[in-house]
Amino acid sequence: MGEFKVHRVRFFNYVPSGIRCVAYNNQSNRLAVSRTDGTVEIYNLSANYFQEKFFPGHESRATEALCWAEGQRLFSAGLNGEIMEYDLQALNIKYAMDAFGGPIWSMAASPSGSQLLVGCEDGSVKLFQITPDKIQFERNFDRQKSRILSLSWHPSGTHIAAGSIDYISVFDVKSGSAVHKMIVDRQYMGVSKRKCIVWGVAFLSDGTIISVDSAGKVQFWDSATGTLVKSHLIANADVQSIAVADQEDSFVVGTAEGTVFHFQLVPVTSNSSEKQWVRTKPFQHHTHDVRTVAHSPTALISGGTDTHLVFRPLMEKVQVKNYDAALRKITFPHRCLISCSKKRQLLLFQFAHHLELWRLGSTVATGTVEAMCLLAVSPDGNWLAASGTSAGVHVYNVKQLKLHCTVPAYNFPVTAMAIAPNTNNLVIAHSDQQVFEYSIPDKQYTDWSRTVQKQGFHHLWLQRDTPITHISFHPKRPMHILLHDAYMFCIIDKSLPLPNDKTLLYNPFPPTNESDVVRRRTAHAFKISKIYKPLLFMDLLDERTLVAVERPLDDIIAQLPPPIKKKKFGT
């Protein structure tokens, strides 16, 4: 495999934006995530949690609410007062519509999916009808005194709960009038001058309303009588988000201290039907505010200011103990943000709103502001391979400007691809960690690829967390493929035997003092190095030089706002 001179690049000053909203779609098992810079990302949870689609954002379009309606339609609303719908096919914004109520703080789609409700700064709750290609304003509910920060529909669609400052209102949808107004204590016990902001409400089918507020309380209200049933003080800081499971037997809340609490409805005794809500497990996977949570049937999803998207699987709901049962933390985008010019030794960094061009060996930076583009890979010679978001890969002949062939469709989206310089073999990595090699001239998979598929990949290879984001080739050694994800960098040597499940995957470098025979026997095609992490980019500059771009998490955290200070025992 040889030794390389490595440019270890750590000056890629990339800071992902904090997560503002997540919305889980049960039908397609997809998750929409919006960030504070207005970016919206779509994750396909079936395809190994791959970030499938991506809408670049803009500061002026910061989203405050995100929801799925009418099946697969995605809406967002923000402080600029507009409701936007995203075109998930064309990957652009279909339209934006002003709600004329000032900044929008909250939005909720009706259980049937045909209506959309927004809560505005001026205290109005507006109902929109969703038409096949647009939304249409229907009517205003009784206007409240202060901004509506949270909204929730009763599963039957007859009532809604709206959280505001210091109180929760219950509206009758038919009449549009407020039925109950429930005043929230400003503090758990005692008096406080600070107003109590109801950050989230959830309306259950039995009429219970769960509210979370800035005093750190999770409260259960009876919507029929408008009375407080139970109160849990769970944090010293704000509880900012709540999400209820579809079965209404568990819900999850996120606090400003970075803790996510799970509540479950458990029977009081084994032989009685009486049930009670019990706070069960706390999860501390975040360092900063948990701005948003979602509850999928098998996992708790949380995201916040610290930019991590965390999937915490519910062990009791997971049927088989496969890799889905592991905790997942997604920090970096599943795209390659860096490209490299081999001849001129330049690195191009892609940021949200600008690019940076760096020359290796010198520190002169030049920047231009430009919009972003989608995944596309260009070949060395006259072939072009293009991959859509869902369909297969098309290979075009650049000289003749026509479609040469199409790689057979595969269920999982493509995460990276590249065409080898001499053989014109197309190497494709998918989100389920499969790697294919397709010969463009022959219009078929290569023999190596077929043997790999026949034997299957090592189970540890398939259990990796992050998708492969970049593939490159060694100019002098045609048998080598170089690829990497965020936590490892791998050279596949096609001439060596493939590893089976019994061999050690992550021990590719046998000790030098062993005899050649042993070394040859233990050597296998995958040579993996985990020195660099989190690795955003890695490529060969020339046959002896590598460039690796890392982005240490500590550097990102250092640029985030400070978290809430908590007293730690013993300090």
The two structure tokens encoding residue 75: 């809406």
392 contacts 386 by C-beta, under 8 angstroms: no
| Interaction of residue 569 with other proteins, rule CB under 8 A | yes
With a CB cutoff of 8 Å and minimum separation 6, the contacts of 489 are: 482, 483, 528, 529, 530, 531, 532, 535, 538, 548
| Interaction of residue 324 with other proteins, rule CB under 8 A | no
Give how many residues touch other proteins by CB under 8 A: 20
Of 554 and 569, nearer to other proteins (C-beta) is 569
Among residue numbers 524 through 543, which ones bind other proteins (CB under 8 A)?
none
CB of 276 to other proteins, least distance (A): 8
| Interaction of residue 268 with other proteins, rule CB under 8 A | yes
| Candidate ranges 48-56, 80-88, 276-284, 386-394; the one touching other proteins (CB under 8 A) | 276-284
50 in helix, strand or coil? strand
Among 281, 443, 521, 544, interactor with other proteins by CB under 8 A: 281
| Interaction of residue 270 with other proteins, rule CB under 8 A | yes
Among residue numbers 171 through 190, which ones bind other proteins (CB under 8 A)?
188
283 contacts 295 by C-beta, under 8 angstroms: no
**DSSP letter (8 states) at residue 4:** -
Among residue numbers 201 through 260, which ones bind other proteins (CB under 8 A)?
216, 232-234
Cis before 508 (ω within 30): no
Residue listed under structure tokens 């269920």: 411
Query: Cα(217)–Cα(231) distance, rounded to whole angstroms?
Result: 7
Q: Residue 522 is inside which H or E element, if any?
A: helix 516-522
Closest-CA residue to 234 (of 256, 210, 218): 218
CB of 327 to other proteins, least distance (A): 14
Of 188 and 351, nearer to other proteins (C-beta) is 188
| Interaction of residue 269 with other proteins, rule CB under 8 A | yes
- Scored b (16 or more CB within 10 A) or e, 270-306 reads eeeeeeebeeeeebebbbbbbbbbbbbebbbbbbbbb
| Interaction of residue 322 with other proteins, rule CB under 8 A | no
| Interaction of residue 566 with other proteins, rule CB under 8 A | no
358 in helix, strand or coil? strand
| Interaction of residue 71 with other proteins, rule CB under 8 A | no
Of 24 and 277, nearer to other proteins (C-beta) is 277
With a CB cutoff of 8 Å and minimum separation 6, the contacts of 249 are: 264, 265
Of 317 and 342, nearer to other proteins (C-beta) is 317
Among 267, 388, 441, 475, interactor with other proteins by CB under 8 A: 267
Of 4 and 188, nearer to other proteins (C-beta) is 188
CB of 234 to other proteins, least distance (A): 7
| Interaction of residue 292 with other proteins, rule CB under 8 A | no
Of 375 and 564, nearer to other proteins (C-beta) is 564
| Interaction of residue 266 with other proteins, rule CB under 8 A | yes
Query: Cα(415)–Cα(184) distance, rounded to whole angstroms?
Result: 48
CB of 319 to other proteins, least distance (A): 10
Of 58 and 281, nearer to other proteins (C-beta) is 281
Query: Cα(380)–Cα(374) distance, rounded to whole angstroms?
Result: 19
Of 3 and 316, nearer to other proteins (C-beta) is 316
Of 111 and 313, nearer to other proteins (C-beta) is 313
Sheet of 82-87: strands edge to edge?
Answer: 63-69, 73-78, 82-87, 92-98
Of 7 and 295, nearer to other proteins (C-beta) is 295
Among 92, 247, 280, 453, interactor with other proteins by CB under 8 A: 280
Strands (E), 132-216: 135-140, 150-153, 159-163, 167-172, 178-183, 198-203, 208-213
| Interaction of residue 282 with other proteins, rule CB under 8 A | yes
Which residues are at the interface with other proteins (CB under 8 A)? 188, 216, 232-234, 264, 266-271, 278-282, 316, 569-570
